[in-house]
Structure 1
């Protein structure tokens, strides 16, 4: 039995026909290990989605492969979304299955990457050009959180714009050890790590991009901010 309903497939197929312009690569890193509870379901989900358009190209790699090392992937399942030329590299990631409300995030990301048409303002795009440090934006979510997709989409779009930024969705129920590292209690919980300077900015809630860009600037400047 498929994970997507027939009516949902029909709707998405029409939306993809209208929105997709260039090829999009969905790169799944998976494992046959029994500890990867959602690897099978994640692969099935991506197979169903990629089957709705010839512009969505699905690749599946083992977590122990060289590709995983190259893309900095350590957990299964992990999805990397990139363009056909890999200009985006591995900057846009999902760690965990994009189920529940996060399925919408997956679909919108595909459309963003394919069309190049984002939802952030020109002012935000200009501000992101000034980022100098290497930043990792991790957004901890749960499938039942209706506000989480907004936070993830902001992080992912920032990563699409700036080569200095990596945006990662982390399903906190699926990866409690990662969530516990930052004492995640409520979601969406965003952690911005400056990989060059070592400082951390974190906050809880789905802030608009105009607020998030200020948090990014704080992280870039080496500030430690805790708004939990």
Structure 2
């Protein structure tokens, strides 16, 4: 199950364990239980501090708990944590074994001080790149606080539960039996939801900060590049981001980032944050900007945030990126995460053997249809235009699949459901105006991006598509406010382009600072 190289790496990690680890497995006669038992026996053989018991009595089989003598730790994996979740397993072993987390000390203390009783259940899929963040955060919380329990559940292996609880997207988190959250979250975000006073305390901290020379709003590739280039100039730099990493966190495979043949979004996002943290940059996460106020008499631009915080800066670089564009048809919001999904890598395994549709015939839509065709019973791809817009090589792969139907000139007009989950969609044939209905269980929307610029509508000049209009230097219509990346009018929304634009915007902001602070030259006598 684990090749020799992976065993060697895992053994090296396990040398960091400082206290005994007990793995207690609950098994039955299934093939999955035998596979899990093989994995656990391999792990046991790699460290003399790890023991395995197969006498677990948990109702979920196969599953296993991780604990240590003398500690009240309630942490369990239901399923076989390989794929993207293998890292979650390794981290859980280390943390249960006493190896300290690298999370911020104040955040760890906040988790330890949470009062109450918290029983978390997280449904994941092994192909989901968003799930490990949630699983790892809640596992760590369970290690730190005995009042917190966490079970990470492979939705593909426990289909009955998935059906019963109507889990149609991952990661899906339940707290004390009730829905708590869906989608990527880190420990800081989870604690913010649990600790209701955290937002107000955070806002007070931000209000007390001295003005920045450059304040970057957004933490994706453009924002990270802007922060690095500004900090390298030795000026006071801050980054306020709703989630550091931005849309890159939701990207599976990245194969066009120059000099890096292949990587994954979460890995790149982590590298971006590490690079920014190598400089003297004040990173303020979980901050959603709501209003920008141009510079007044004091020469400072003001940015106001959803939690009531306010930051001031001499210059601002807006790099708030973009998000998945919605269809904006009846039923879409009602059935979001109940059959309407936006990430085929994450949620595809939950639709095994079912009928799904993909909306969009560009590269993203065709790639999604190809991936889903290997999981579901049938894929219907609907494209608004009269022909697909994806690369020719992708189209050839798509049309070679026997369980894919392609419908062009199709305008989706409605998502239908039974009140609990999706059961179909309605589309109009744009060639003859006729309305058609398709019965299915899932809809994956892949129709491009929408700029995150609504908060600037009455302040900065925007294009008809909502993008921030900038010049060749990244300057917006407001003096001292620059912009970069997917939120702007720059064509071709690509990571490498966003990084270049972020760097340029920071250099332009620095140049603006120099020019605006230079003393006026006296006139010749």
**Aligned pair in 2 of structure 1 residues 130, 153: CA closer, same or farther (>3 Å)?**
same
Cα distance in 1 for residues equivalent to 2:179 and 2:193:
7
| TM superposition score normalised by structure 1 | 0.79
Unmatched 5+ stretches in structure 1? 195-199, 219-226
Q: CA deviation at 1:12?
A: 1.6
In 2, Cα distance between the equivalents of 1:49 and 1:126? Answer: 30
Q: Does 1:41 align with 2:35?
A: yes
1:24 corresponds to: 21
- Kept in 1, the 8 Å contact 2:82–2:126? The answer is yes
1:11 equivalent in structure 2: 9
CA distance in 2, matches of 1:215, 1:115: 27
2:102 and 2:135 map into 1 onto residues whose CA distance is 13
The 5-angstrom pairing of residues 1-228 of structure 1 reads 3-17=1-15, 19-32=16-29, 36-61=30-55, 68=57, 73-83=58-68, 85-89=69-73, 91-193=74-176, 200-217=178-195
Contact 2:25 2:52 in 1 (8 A): yes
Shift of 1:134: 1.5
The root-mean-square deviation of aligned C-alpha atoms, in Å, is 2.0
Per-residue deviation at 1:125? 2.8
- Contact 2:125/2:155 (<8 A) preserved: yes
**Do the aligned partners of 1:24 and 1:56 also contact (CA within 8 Å) in 2?**
yes
Contact 1:120 1:157 in 2 (8 A): no
Post-superposition Cα deviations, 1:82-136, rounded to whole Å, max 9, x if no partner, equal 01x14134x1001111121112211111111113412433233333344332111
Is the contact between residue 26 and residue 81 of structure 1 (CA under 8 Å) also seen in structure 2?
yes
Partner SS for 2:76: strand
Shift in Å at residue 48 of structure 1? 0.8
After superposition, the Cα gap between the structure-2 partners of 1:14 and 1:126, relative to the gap in structure 1 and judged at 3 Å, is closer
Residues 201/185 of structure 1: CA separation in 2 closer, same or farther (3 Å cut): closer
**Contact (CA 8 Å) 2:17, 2:99: kept in 1 or not?**
no
Structure 1 CA distance, aligned partners of 2:93 and 2:175? 23
Q: Is the 8 A contact 2:124 2:153 kept in 1?
A: yes
Kindly provide the CA deviation profile for residues 161-217 of structure 1, in whole angstroms up to 9, marking residues without a partner as x.
1111101101101112222333222211111227xxxxx342212212211112233
Counterpart Cα distance in 1 of 2:72 and 2:112 = 15
Structure 1 residues 82 and 124, CA gap change in structure 2 (3 angstroms): same
Q: CA deviation at 1:153?
A: 0.8
| Contact in 2 for aligned 1:139/1:168 (Cα 8 Å) | yes
- Counterpart CA distance in 2 for 1:174 and 1:86 is 32
The range that moved more, 22-31 or 119-128, is 119-128
SS at match of 1:139: strand
Q: Alpha-carbon deviation of 1:46?
A: 0.6
Q: How many residue pairs are counted as aligned between the two chains?
A: 198
Distance across 2 between alignment mates of 1:126 and 1:20: 21
Offset from partner CA, 1:9-45 (integer Å, 9 cap, x none): 122222222x12211111111123xxx3400000001
- Unpaired stretches in structure 2, ≥5 consecutive residues: 197-335, 338-525
Aligned CA distance change for structure 1 residues 76 and 5 (closer, same or farther; 3 Å): same
Question: Within 2, Cα distance between the matches of 1:181 and 1:209?
Answer: 28
Structure 1 residues 93 and 176: alpha-carbon distance in aligned structure 2, compared to 1, 3 A threshold: same
**Partners in 2 of 1:117 and 1:141 — Cα distance?**
25
TM-score normalised by length of structure 2:
0.36
Q: Following the alignment from structure 1 to structure 2, what is the Cα–Cα distance between the partners of residues 54 and 129?
A: 29
Q: Is the 8 A contact 1:192 1:216 kept in 2?
A: no
